[in-house]
Structures are given as C-alpha cells and as structure tokens.
Amino acid sequence: MATLLPLAHVSHYLWVLYVPPVLIVVGSIVWNMRSERRRRD
Amino acid sequence: MTLLPYAHALVAREDLPIPAWLFAWGASIVLIASFFALSVAWREPRFEDDRRRPLGGGLSKVLLELPTQILCGAIGVFLLGVAVYAGLRGTEAPDRNFAITFLFVTVWLGFPVLGAFLGDVFRPFNPWRAVGRVAGATFSAIAGQRPRHLPYPEALGRWPAAVGLIAFVWLEIVYGPSGGIAVALSPDDAAVAALVYSGYTLAMMALFGVEKWCERGEVFSVYFGMFGSLGCFEAREGRLGLRRPLAAAARWATLPASAAVVVASIGTTVFDGAREGPLEGPTGTVGDWLVDAGLGEIAAARIVDTAFMLLCVAAIWLVYEIGVRGMATVRGAPPLGRLRRGFAHTLIPIALAYLIAHYFSLFIFQEQAQFTYLLSDPLGTATTDLFGTASGGIDYGVLSANTIWYVQVGALVVGHVIGLVLAHDRATAFWGDYRQAARSQYWMLAVMVAFTCLGLYLLSVANS
C-alpha cells in the first residue's frame, strides 16, 4: 500500500522558502564584518 | 449586489512557469546584482542636486496663473462635495456609492501613481488648501492684514501626517466591517469622516498657516507629496520646472518624522495583505479570546485588527532601524539620527511598489466602475443616468490572474531596485569614499531583500 505523506497543511509552511535569500544576505554581511574585524585586529 | 473584488484574491493564479517562491529568489538575485553594479559604477552622488530647469514661460503661465489655480481648487472642492453628498444621501451599499470608490480607490491609489511620474499633482486640487487660501485671502481683504499664525512646533515634524495616515487606513480596513467587500466602510461613515477631517484640517490651517500645515500635518498633502517627490515636474517660485526624476525625494525627508510616514504607508499595506494570509489565523485566535472574555464580536475584531496593524508598522520600522543601525557601524558614518532621516526617502519607491503590487487589480477593476455606473449614478439609487453609462459594469476578464502576478512582481522588483539606487546615492554623499559607501549599503541591501521577499510572500499567499 502506498504511504501518503501528510501534506494537507504544507501551504502553511511555504513561508520557509522565502526566508533563505534574506538569511544569505544577512549571513554574508555578518561574515564580512567579522572577517574585516579579524583583519583589523 | 455586485461585490468588489479583493485586492488580489479574485481568481486563483494559473500555472506559472516556476513556483511563486522562486520569484523571491530571482528578485533577490536581481537586487544583489544591482547592488554590485552600483558599488562598481556609481561613485558620485547624483541626486543631491535635482538639476531643475524652468519650462517655457507660456506653459508655466497658463498652468500656474491664478485663474487656473482657482479652477483646480474649485474642481477639488466640488469633487469632495459630491463624495460627501453621495455618502450622506446615496445608497448604503459601498460598491454602488460614488463616495467609497472615489475616495478610497480613485484618489487614494490614483494620486500616488500619477505623482510618481509627474510630480505633486494633488497640490493644486487639494480642496482644503483651496478653501484655506480663499479664507486667508478673504481675511486679509477684510482685516487689511495677513492672518497671524502660531509657530508650528518643529519637533512635531510630520507626526500628525503619520498618525493621520494610519487613522485613514484604519478607517478603511479595520473600522469598516468586511464580508467579502474590498472597501466595506459604509458611505455614510466615510462622508461623516470626511466632514470631521475637513473641520480639523481647516482649524489646523487657521492655527499654523495653510502651506505649513500642508507640508507637515495634512495627511493627503504629505502622503501624495511624498510620492510626488519621485516625479519630474515641479512648480517652484511661480514657475513650472523639469527636474531629474527621483532627485526631489532626496530632500523630501528632511523634516522630522518623515520616515514615520513612509514606514506607516508600508506597514499598513503589509497588514492589509497579511490579514488575508498569514495573519488570518492569529487574528482569529486572539479575537476568539477577546470574545470569550466578554467582548462583542465587532469590538473584538476591531481591537485585534488595530493591534496587528500597529504591529505590522512596528515590524517595518524595526527592519528599517536594523538597516540604519547596521550602517552606523561602518567607519565614517554620520550620527544615527541623521542616518535615520537621511535614508527615509529610499523607502518611498518601496511604499509605491507595495501599493501597486497590493492594489493593482482592485484599481483596474474599480476604475471601470468609477467611469461607468458610479459616474452616471453617483448615489447608487438607480434613479439617475447622467452620462448614459449607468448600466455599465466591470469586465473582470480585462486582466488575467497571471498578468496581475507579473505586474505585482515587476512593481516590487523595480521599486526595490530604485530604493537601492537612492540609498547608494545617499551613501556616496554621506561617506564620500565610494568603497565605504558600498560597505554601508550591505545593510540596505538586506533591508531591500527582506522587504521584497515579504512582499512576494504576502502576494503569493493572497493569490493562491
């Protein structure tokens, strides 16, 4: 018997797919700042 | 009864070539590419001077002469009068009454878009400014001296306009009971609100002066003027001039609380979108708690919606504040207050993008009603047919769901890229060194990407 995945409410979690671009940019900024600070020190 | 369509929930979108969320990734890539292009190629500030040049004397004369000003003012007063009369005497069905569509769709959405291209078009048609100027001129003629006004508390800046803006949107989307109608405020309530606001505005104009109040406190002058600062025409010192597009925005936000006006504009639009999507559950849950605690259903809904609307405004403010504080960490940054005010204008194209993205379909559909049956039968009583168009209707097939989606995505991407350009330009002016300027703009890039993804997420939820 085929196992059905419980996807009835999957649309409630679609917002997760919109977050990575923001995280990538913010992460890059933080990484850039830390590496710059390290270079200065 | 014909129901007004929701702003963007009329029909489900057809199949898109890629999932909706991938548009957010694509838009973010466009922003990141624009950021790097600006960092390399844009080394000098270009919008600090609007390079205004006066237009031909004949055209200036015709457009700015006193008779034209009187005519435009009279048109403004007449249309406001028609809207108030229709509200008080017309049908209580919001979608059949001229007042609702005219005030909340034609004027509220039309002037920002028109202004973004042409400049502050609302100013000559502002009915309260027209009445205030006539009253001032009459006083001068009778008393033999110009009216004296109180000095405006400069620290107050544009706070009255920011609060008024939130109050206007609150009236439209919180006070008016919904039930499937885009603007469900009763025409009678809208007319009474317009009369109350007219009295308040004229009193403030008498206290502080017409132009002073229009620049700082009069909600519609400030709001439409904000978008008008993106446009290319400007009347200054009695002459019409052509200026560099977007450049006037750089000096619009010099007054205190200008940032609050832009943030309020974005925050309230976000709430309007989110309440049909991600906020639908939380507002319902909190509303149920209040009802269980003994509050009436309408009161509970209004309290919850008010709280969530203010939370949305606060959230937008927080994102902007993070961007500003991030910029402040870059070496050579000006003081925080100057940064906060100095970059507020970069949110204006975003506010416009949110407005277009959220209300585009509503505007296109409702303008068909505005120029057919609402124009011929403004009271909605089916007793008049002034222009023979009373039997007209709305053709919902004029836009496909996919067209609406592409316009929404396009508006959001273009708006945020323009915001990025304005921010980079201001940074080159503040930091001098373009490398430091580019470094400071990492933060505004994050703000723009966050706003773009949020906007696209809200639209995707509302459209699905």
Which of B31, B36, B439, B453 to substitute to test the interface with A, most A CBs within 10 Å? Answer: B453
- Chain B residues 326-355 within an 8 A CB cutoff of chain A: 326, 329
Give the nearest chain B residue to A25 (CA atoms).
B446
Check CB contact under 8 Å for A21 and B28.
yes
Partner-chain contact B449 A21, CB within 8 Å: yes
CA distance A4 to chain B (A): 22
Of the residues A17, A18, A36, the best mutation for testing chain B's interface (the one with the most B CB atoms within 10 Å of its CB) is A18
Residue B15 has pLDDT above 70, yes or no: no
Tokens of B313: 């405004």
- Over the stretch B36-55, which tens digit does the pLDDT of each residue have? 999 999 999 999 988 888 88
User: What is the complex's ipTM, to 2 decimals?
Assistant: 0.82
The span from the CA of B84 to the CA of B99, in Å, is 7
Residue among A14, A22, A28 whose CB faces B450 most closely:
A22
Q: What is the pLDDT of residues B223-266, one digit of tens each?
A: 999 999 999 999 888 888 999 999 999 899 999 999 999 999 99
Q: For chain A, give the longest Cα–Cα distance.
A: 63
A17 touches chain B (CB under 8 A): yes
CA distance to A39, B330, B461, per residue, from B275 (Å): 47, 37, 10
Cβ contact B148:B212 at 8 Å: no
Termini Cα distance of chain A: 63
- Mean pLDDT (10-residue bins), chain A, 41 residues: 66 86 92 84 75
∠ CA B365-B369-B372 to the nearest 5 degrees? 135
pTM here is 0.91
Q: What is the pLDDT of residues B365-389, one digit of tens each?
A: 999 999 999 999 999 998 899 999 9
Is the CA virtual torsion B155, B315, B245, B108 positive or negative? negative
Q: Check: CB of residue B50 under 8 Å from CB of residue B244.
A: yes
A27/B contact by beta carbon, under 8 A: no
Q: For residue B283, what are the CA distances in angstroms to B287, B292, B302, B314, B322?
A: 6, 14, 10, 17, 26
Quote the minimal CA–CA distance from A1 to chain B in Å: 30
Spell out which residues of chain A touch residue B449, defining contact as CB-CB under 8 Å. Answer: 21-22, 25
Q: Which of B270, B318, B351, B310 is nearest to B447 (CA)?
A: B318
Residue A4, classed as helix, strand or coil, is coil
pLDDT at B7: 41
